Structure 1
Amino acid sequence: MLAGSAILFALVLVLFLMVFLRPGWGSRIAPGRWIVLGGLVLPAIVLIPLVCYALYAGEQLLPLPGHAPQRIEAIAKQWDWTFRYPDQGGVETHGVLHVPAGTPVDIVVTSQDVVHAFWIPRFAGKIDAIPGHATHLRIQADQPGEYQGLCNQFCGLGHAGMHFTVIVDRPEDFSAAVKQAAATGEMNK
């Protein structure tokens, strides 16, 4: 996406420099043609491939037929996150989200009090946590490791400390890691 926007910016900049460095250069082209070429054709050259790539990348996150993705519930409450794992017997962790590597995971986000925002910068855009409403976000972490997540919607005086740790486990270790974290009452460090 960044490369596509850079190409579009460069094309517009070239047109600007042509008009700036050669006064009168663009006056031979009718205004209607500027609108069609500069406002429709030029962006289409870059945006159509970007949309195709975005659709392709989004489709890659869909699970294979017959394989429902892992589902995790993220519940926000001033100023903490609780993660519930219905597919793992309903166990919960506080401040620490475990996800398996290399597989899509559906995060169902909600709030118990005010509007919060669920955001893991390395994996996906933010999504709002709204009281009484469930929002869905599909993520996929490809590499095991530890990452940071946070609430980036001001939600009160304790907002600055409302972050969580994301631990991406190897797929074969995921179930055991979640059960161990829940049993030990694992909390955000």
Structure 2
Amino acid sequence: MRGIRGTIITGGCILLTGCNTHQSTLAPFGADAADIRHLFLLMLAGAVVIAVALALLMRHAVRAPEGELGLRGGMRLVLWLGGIIPTILLLGLLVYSLPFMRPRPIAPADLQIAVDGEQFWWRVTYRPAGAAPVETANEIRIPVGRTVAFRLTAADVVHSFWIPGLAGKMDMIPGRTNTLVVRADKAGRYRGQCAEFCGLSHALMALDVIAMEPAAFDAWLADQRRPSTSQGDGARLFAQNGCNACHTVRGAGPAGRIGPDLTHFGSRQTLAAGILPMATANVAAFIRHPEKTKPGVRMPAFPQLTPAEATAIARYLEGLK
């Protein structure tokens, strides 16, 4: 009994480690994830019923007198329990679940967000109808109650776009654009994750997802169109060390396209694609040695920068809001 109790407690603790409200299909904030949870709970209940029925049948078979079930009765039992009843159950489940698989309709006026997966970060471009696109990185904001179409692709290897509380997974394939249509129903801050092994730092490729009330989202998107106004010694060091060869800071010189757009970097809540909290020390350390945070990252290291210089650049970037 002690062994059984210990196994149950251990298993329960392992299951509890997967419980959270910011990255879980069981805690949805989108309509599609809610449908997925509904189907999961339905199938789980059916599986429990079948498992209990089989356990009772096995108990009866073990305790039944020898010879009680003949060949003809056994064949009938196999036919019903192994063929007819499972077929009816699976057919019923298929018919019930088909409406949930219908793609969500999208109108020309709906917001489109292009997301490109790269090793190991996310390029995000908002394409509102009738307005110029706005590029950001490693953070996605969506309006609550509005339909949003994600246009998903990859620049290097296959990635997989997954925001568990919003919708199901979808692959991001180089040379191909896949479309995922979603609708958030609840405001809040959540988390997404690359769900396809894409290299050494695959597990470190996350993103913040912020669902906002429509008016707040519209104001935020309008603010994102503004160029940067931050200046100072850090801006000079940023340009002097060639950072703008890879990164864009709109309104502050040449625009690089290789790395993430940093125009409003300081308004983000995390850095390194959702891995580290936004803090001066973290930004400065990532500038000097990004490979220590993300093995295999394509951003070059800058060990030649002194801690004071890296800190100055970090403070400049945090001022980009």
Q: Does 1:70 align with 2:149?
A: no
8 A contact 2:118–2:154 mirrored in 1: yes
- Equivalent residue runs for 1:69-148 within 5 Å: 69-87=110-128, 88-148=131-191
8 A contact 1:72–1:108 mirrored in 2: yes
Partner of 2:3: none
Distance 1:39 1:70, change over 3 A: farther
1:14-43 residue CA offsets vs partner (Å, 9 max, x unmatched): 144224423467655353663455334345
**AA of the residue aligned to 2:110:** P
Q: Distance in 2 between matches of 1:127 and 1:164?
A: 15
Partner of 2:45: 6
Q: Does 1:166 align with 2:209?
A: yes
Alignment match of 2:73 (pick from 29, 38, 42): 29
8 A contact 1:7–1:46 mirrored in 2: no
- Larger gyration radius, structure 1 or structure 2: 2
1:110-147 residue CA offsets vs partner (Å, 9 max, x unmatched): 00111111111111221111111111112221101111
Alignment match of 1:41 (pick from 85, 91, 112): 85
**Number of residue pairs matched?**
186
1:81-101 residue CA offsets vs partner (Å, 9 max, x unmatched): 011111152101111101111
8 A contact 1:8–1:43 mirrored in 2: no
Aligned alpha-carbon RMSD (Å): 2.8
Distance 1:120 1:170, change over 3 A: same
8 A contact 2:134–2:224 mirrored in 1: no
**AA of the residue aligned to 1:69:** D
8 A contact 1:100–1:168 mirrored in 2: yes
Greater mean alpha carbon deviation, residues 93-102 or residues 176-185 = 176-185
Q: Distance in 1 between matches of 2:60 and 2:42?
A: 26
> Quick one: percent identity of the two aligned structures?
32
1:154-185 residue CA offsets vs partner (Å, 9 max, x unmatched): 21223232111011011222222223345452
Greater mean alpha carbon deviation, residues 132-141 or residues 26-35 = 26-35
Q: Distance in 2 between matches of 1:70 and 1:26?
A: 64
Q: Distance in 2 between matches of 1:39 and 1:134?
A: 42
How does the TM-score come out when normalised to structure 1?
0.80
Distance 1:161 1:8, change over 3 A: closer
Distance 1:55 1:70, change over 3 A: farther
Greater mean alpha carbon deviation, residues 103-112 or residues 11-20 = 11-20
**AA of the residue aligned to 2:75:** P
How does the TM-score come out when normalised to structure 2?
0.50
Unaligned runs of 5+ in 2: 1-38, 227-262, 271-321
8 A contact 2:166–2:184 mirrored in 1: yes
Unaligned runs of 5+ in 1: none
**1:53, distance to aligned residue in structure 2 (A):** 4.4
Report the 3-state secondary structure (helix = DSSP H, G, I; strand = E; otherwise coil) of the residue aligned with 1:74: strand
Q: Distance in 1 between matches of 2:176 and 2:80?
A: 43
